Amino acid sequence: MVYINRSKSQLLEEIQRLHTELAAIKLMTEKRTTELYISEERFSLAMRGANDGLWDWNLETDEVYYSPRWKSMLGYTENELDNNLSTWANLVHPDDKNGVLEKAHDYLAGRADSFEVEMRMRHKDGHEVYVLSRAFLVTRKSDNKPVRLVGTHVDITERKTTELFDSKSAEILEMIAIGRPASDIYDAIALMYEARHPGMRCSMLELEGNKLMHGGAPSLPKEYCDAVNGLEYGPSVGSCGTSTYTGKRVLVENIETDPKWKKIKHFALPHGMRCCWSEPISSSSGKILGAFGMYYNHPALPNEKELKDLNAAARLAGIVMERDQAQKRIRKLAYTDELTGLASRASFSQHIEEITKTSARHHHRFALLYIDLDDFKGINDSLGHDAGDLLLKTIAKRLVHTCREIDFIARVGGDEFCVLVEEVEDDYAANIAKRCLHAIAQPIEIYSRRLTPACSIGIAYFPDDGENLSALLKAGDTSLYKAKENGKNQYTFYKMELTQKAQYRFQVEQNLREAIEKQQLSLVYQPQIEVSTGNIFDFEALSRWHHPELGQIPPINFIATAEKIGMIKPLTEWVLRTACRQLVAWKKKGFHALRMAVNISPSLFLDKEFASLIKRIIEEVGITPTELELEVTESIVQTDPRNLSIFQDLKDLGVSIAIDDFGTGYSSFASLKHLKVDYLKIDKFFVDDMLIDEQALILISSMIEMGRKLGHEIIAEGVEKLEQLNILKNLGCEKVQGFLFSKPIRADAVSKLLLSYQHEMNKIA
């Protein structure tokens, strides 16, 4: 050893030196240990004071250390959560994950000088925590390779919530400034405060008169909103109803037990609503406009922050509500005629532009009625403008009561009115015009003077008479001028032929009621022939109307008019009774093997008393039920299930039933089977074409075959040629009717026909 040759004294000196060095080393070590401990303690305290959570990602093993503070920030204990990267991936918001990882990779690859990112992470109880994460890179000294990424998390939820709240507040103010709909802004306000207080649901109710109307509640169930919409406010009508009634804040801790909710709690409790705090919404002048409500799904009273937000939300909603009501008043002044309360000219122009676009897109037509009072200037000049204003108000009310709710009525000038009529049936515009003429012409007393006002009406159609506002107004004004020129107190279409047709239909309608009531119509009879024997077995009674001024009016015109004015039942009753009496008269002359066929309107098959009417006439006149045949169009078999019971009543009575004009509608053989009719009458339309159109012949053949298989006898109408008769006979048609045998004739000519007919048929055969 090196110490062998040394003296004892030298060894002692060496040992002493080593002891001194060891002591120094120990002192240095203890000092460094103390300093390290102090540093670690300071770091821990600093981390705790900064509310930071530490994380350490080992890039080589992919393990991640999460400090207890990091875990507690998300609601977890020190022993919860695994130390791996998937733990973080499962907790970070899916929308933020890729962005955070991309920034981390950029930093690791040297493409970024630092790593700092904001993200949302899921707390253990489900709510979101906003986190600011910063990190630094730890490299290996030997090769400078990154081995760890060490960072911190800071909870910035409160700051972010404040930022988002301020941002949403700015958005709402912008919505108010640019005039967005109030309902949209109400929803935005509700969602803003709901985001500020997780679990809260908000609503705004607007006070209209004494009723609470739904304003906005995007997170409340529709069923609840519908239930409270329209409730009258009062001292015990929930939180909002009481708040608007008293003008004071109402805090209900428990909806289930609070007496103010007793009458309406059954609307709220099924949807989990357990508490409700309400603040009245006031205008700048202090007028109560509505209420702002906050709900939770648990009984509670608000804390200081919630109370502050409740008050702030009500003030913000008040700005919106007051602005909206002011805009409604302005809009009403702009689009409502102040004198009459009707739409103004500006509103009319806007509406006609909208309806023009819609009608053009859907290929619909509508009518413009241009109405001008006759001699209105004379009333102003003689009685004064106040009297004229009273008359205009009265005319406006009469127009409103005369037209439908969907008809748009406007005052477009001093004594000028316009009505936009969307036609649901032919001549509706003319009918409205007639009613307007009648309503306006009713006498009125103004300042003790009895006046009988009158008007002239011009009618123009879109798109027939004009495809835009300007052209349509010009056509309406032109037709109005024609009405004035023709003598006033009348309506005129832009196209004269329409005026003539409408006036003719109006005259028919006016005179038909009197003609039916006074039995001024007549009947003619057309025979129905049995093909196999050539015998007349039946006569069809047909109505005729000859008016002294209008001349002969086709049945297709006056039958439809009778339906329209509600006179079809008395007309049918007269026809039935007259035809059956004629049948009795023929029987007395020796013609016994005859029956009578009468056309019946489908509408009568909805009359519960119809079968009783038939029975009464049969008994009064003295014929048997089997001698009467009722003809009805085939549309009756599809229109209403109530027809079945009427059919059954008639069959039980013993009368025969024929389906007229068969094949022209939507035939339903299944319905025919259930109805058990006796005859199918093939329409003249098919018979006319059977000699020149093979398809018409095929259709007739099919109808005859199918009808017979269903147990119905077949009658062919409109037979005018012998060739048609022969084909129908070969196809198995049992009975025919048409000019080949006889035109419809008067009753006094039937006896002669019956005597000579058999001789003529023998010649044909």
For residue range 520-554, what is the model confidence (pLDDT) as tens digits? 899 999 999 988 888 888 999 999 998 888 888 88
pLDDT at 136 over 80: yes
Mean pLDDT of the chain: 85
What is the band of 46 on the pLDDT scale with cuts at 50, 70, 90? Answer: very low
* 472: nearest Cα among 351, 375, 630, 374: 351
Instruction: Return the DSSP state at 342.
Output: S
Q: Maximum Cα–Cα distance for the chain, whole Å?
A: 179
- Looking at the DSSP assignment, which residues form a beta bridge with residue 136? 150
For 279, 378, 449, 456, the CA distances from 383, given in Å and listed in that order, are 55, 8, 9, 22
* Distance linking the first and last C-alpha atoms of the chain: 161
Query: What is the pLDDT at residue 18?
Result: 65
The answer to whether residues 62 and 32 belong to one domain is: no
Q: Of 325, 348, 365, which residue sits at a domain end?
A: 325
Mean pLDDT across 423-442: 85
Q: What is the pTM of this model?
A: 0.45
Which range, of 28-42, 206-220, 437-451, 587-601, averages the lowest pLDDT? 28-42
Query: Residue 198 falls within a domain, yes or no?
Result: yes
pLDDT tens by residue, 667-692: 555 566 666 788 888 888 889 888 88
The answer to whether residues 484 and 541 belong to one domain is: no
The answer to whether residues 209 and 128 belong to one domain is: no
pLDDT at 34 over 60: no
Query: Residue 400 falls within a domain, yes or no?
Result: yes
What CATH number is attached to the domain comprising 585? 3.20.20.450
Query: What is the pLDDT at residue 32?
Result: 52
The answer to whether residues 345 and 459 belong to one domain is: yes
Query: Residue 93 falls within a domain, yes or no?
Result: yes
Instruction: Return the DSSP state at 92.
Output: B
Q: Of 325, 347, 373, which residue sits at a domain end?
A: 325
Query: Residue 381 falls within a domain, yes or no?
Result: yes
My answer on whether omega of the bond before 453 falls inside 30° of 0, hence cis, is: no
For residue 543, give its domain range: 513-681+742-764
**CB of 228 within 8 A of CB of 206?**
no
Residue 675 or 567, more confident: 567
Mean pLDDT across 719-742: 91
* 555: nearest Cα among 565, 543, 563, 571: 543
Query: What is the pLDDT at residue 3?
Result: 45
The answer to whether residues 430 and 350 belong to one domain is: yes
Query: Residue 707 falls within a domain, yes or no?
Result: no
The answer to whether residues 229 and 319 belong to one domain is: yes
Which range, of 21-35, 437-451, 478-492, averages the lowest pLDDT? 21-35
Q: Of 494, 522, 557, which residue sits at a domain end?
A: 494
Sheet holding 146-155, edge to edge: 64-66, 52-58, 146-155, 128-139, 115-122
Please report, rounded to a whole number, the percentage of residues in the chain having pLDDT higher than 90: 38
Query: What is the pLDDT at residue 558?
Result: 87
Query: What is the pLDDT at residue 2?
Result: 46
Query: What is the pLDDT at residue 1?
Result: 42
Cα atoms in the 13 Å half-sphere on the side-chain side of 538: 25
Distance CA 534, CA 734 (A): 10
The answer to whether residues 642 and 758 belong to one domain is: yes
The answer to whether residues 604 and 553 belong to one domain is: yes
The answer to whether residues 626 and 609 belong to one domain is: yes
